[in-house]
Structures are given as C-alpha cells and as structure tokens.
Amino acid sequence: MASVAATAGLPERFAYSTSKGDVRAMTLSVAIDFVKQGIRCNCISPARVHTGFVDGYLAKNYPGRESEMFENLSAAQPIGRMAKPAEIADLALYLCSDQAAFVTGTDYPIDGGFFNLHN
C-alpha cells in the first residue's frame, strides 16, 4: 500500500510521504526484477479512507466536534467523501486476480479525484 502522499506534497507529512514514495519506487523495482519469474507487483495509492483510525483520531483531537471535522475531511475530497475500505479491497482483489495478469509495475491511485486536484 502506498498513498497519494507518495506523489503530492502534504503539509506535516514528511516521513509518511517519504515512506509511501519508497513503496512506489519499490513496486517498480520488484516488478522489473521478478517479471521473468511470473511475479507481478503493483501498489495502491488511496487518499482518505474512512476507518476506525480516522474515527479515533477525530475523537482524540476534536472531542465534541467529531461530526463537524469528519464532514470537513470528507468535503476536502473532490468526490465529497472518504473512500470505503471495501472499495480499496476491491481494487486489491482485482490486482491479485487472473484478470490483472498483464498488469505489473503500476501505481493505482484510488483517490476520489485528489490527484487531479493537486497536480
């Protein structure tokens, strides 16, 4: 798993962005190094995903304002909401399936329009 942070400058996300950029670069290297063995390697770069982590972060940092801040985070996505974990899982399932047999060395942004807005 990479992130939109791998290719976009996000404030106060230096270490996170660097680590996700490393995942993206590793994906390309692994794809080339192991293609002859029939091993494919791709990465997924989601934007915000509504998980328990998000809920916990909001509860810890914005007590009593969780709903308001959740709406703000959601509205910041061009599509108007955060991704659902199942949407990310569906992409991962596709990439692991035989239907993606010709796909390798690719970063898949699943970002609700984030990349288009920030590049």
User: Looking at the annotation, which residues are catalytic?
Assistant: 16
Three-class SS string for the chain? Answer: CCCHHHCCCCCCCHHHHHHHHHHHHHHHHHHHHHHHHCCCCCEEEECCECCHHHHHHHHHHCCCCHHHHHHHHHHCCCCCCCECHHHHHHHHHHHHCHHHCCCCCCEEEECCCHHHHHC
The strand pair at 107-110 and 43-46 is best described as parallel
